[in-house]
Copies of this chain bind each other. A is one copy, B any other.
Amino acid sequence: MAKGNLPKLHSDFSVDCVIFGFDDEELKVLLVERNEPPFKAWKAIPGNLVYDQEDIDAAAERVLYELTGLHNIFLEQFYSFGSIDRHPQGRVITVAYYSIIKRNDNGLHPVSGYAKKAYWWPADNIPKLAFDHNEIVDKALQTLRHKISYEPIGFELLPEKFTLTQLQHIYEAILQKRIDKRNFRRKMLSYGLLTELNQKQKGVSHRAASFFKFNKSRYRSLKKKGFIFGLR
């Protein structure tokens, strides 16, 4: 695996997965503690080498599952990183994915051992990471921030039923700006894709908010006709 003096016609490669979550306050990124020599550091979500029998999308799903115990999660490839010297152990090209998950209070259920030491970090305050992982997380963040302006990915961070205030907080956290409550609600409701449920919050010490759900299948059919769901 060490770099040879003659060109080799193959390289190792891996998938990396940047995982975003939201805790009702701010956007978070899941980072794992790297304990292997030669140094100890945080790193972005583990890459995994990909095997010959596995599509890269499937490899990314596997990595995500091993870390979180979750299946059927929003997961999208966003860039591949291939500088010669990006990895100290030799040439490793990585195909990077980002994932957006709903954080529930049960926490994560990692399947494999290496994923045990994973913690959420504020997206706007990422520590120094191993290798080129800061670059990867940055690009994932850029992608997420851009994407929310033309696709309804905010809902991926929320449970099935959510309040408009929760949704607004997500847009504010991702777009990094304050949004007017009335204008936000008007805009979101104008698309006709949110259904108000006959349910309200319980146990809150103030007026209870209505729950809504997002009509995903209706969105998909509108999207085919050129409709854009987004907010700048």
Residues of B within 8 A of A50 (CB): 11, 82, 93
Cβ B49 vs Cβ A9 within 8 A: yes
CB distance from A136 to the nearest CB of B (A): 13
A residues with CB within 8 A of B: 3-4, 7-13, 49-57, 77, 79-80, 82-84, 91, 93, 95, 146, 150
Residues of B within 8 A of A84 (CB): 52-55
Cβ B91 vs Cβ A93 within 8 A: no
Residues of B within 8 A of A57 (CB): 82
Residues of B within 8 A of A10 (CB): 10-13, 49
Residues of B within 8 A of A56 (CB): 80, 82-83, 93
Cβ A79 vs Cβ B77 within 8 A: yes
Residues of B within 8 A of A52 (CB): 3-4, 7-8, 11, 84, 91
CA–CA, A8 and B52, complex, Å: 6
Chain A interface, >50% SS class: loop
**Given contacts A10-B12, A52-B11, are A80 and B83 in contact (CB under 8 A)?**
no
The 4 tightest CB contacts between A and B, nearest first, are A56-B82, A7-B51, A80-B80, A10-B12
A-B contact list, 22 entries, CB within 8 Å: A3-B52, A3-B53, A4-B52, A7-B51, A8-B52, A9-B49, A10-B10, A11-B13, A13-B93, A50-B82, A53-B84, A54-B84, A55-B82, A55-B83, A55-B84, A56-B80, A56-B93, A57-B82, A77-B79, A80-B80, A80-B95, A93-B93
CA–CA, A53 and B82, complex, Å: 11
Residues of B within 8 A of A3 (CB): 52-53
CA–CA, A79 and B50, complex, Å: 17
CA–CA, A82 and B13, complex, Å: 11
Cβ A9 vs Cβ B93 within 8 A: no
Given contacts A8-B51, A9-B51, A10-B13, 7 further A-B contacts (CB under 8 A): A9-B49, A50-B93, A56-B80, A56-B82, A80-B95, A93-B93, A93-B95
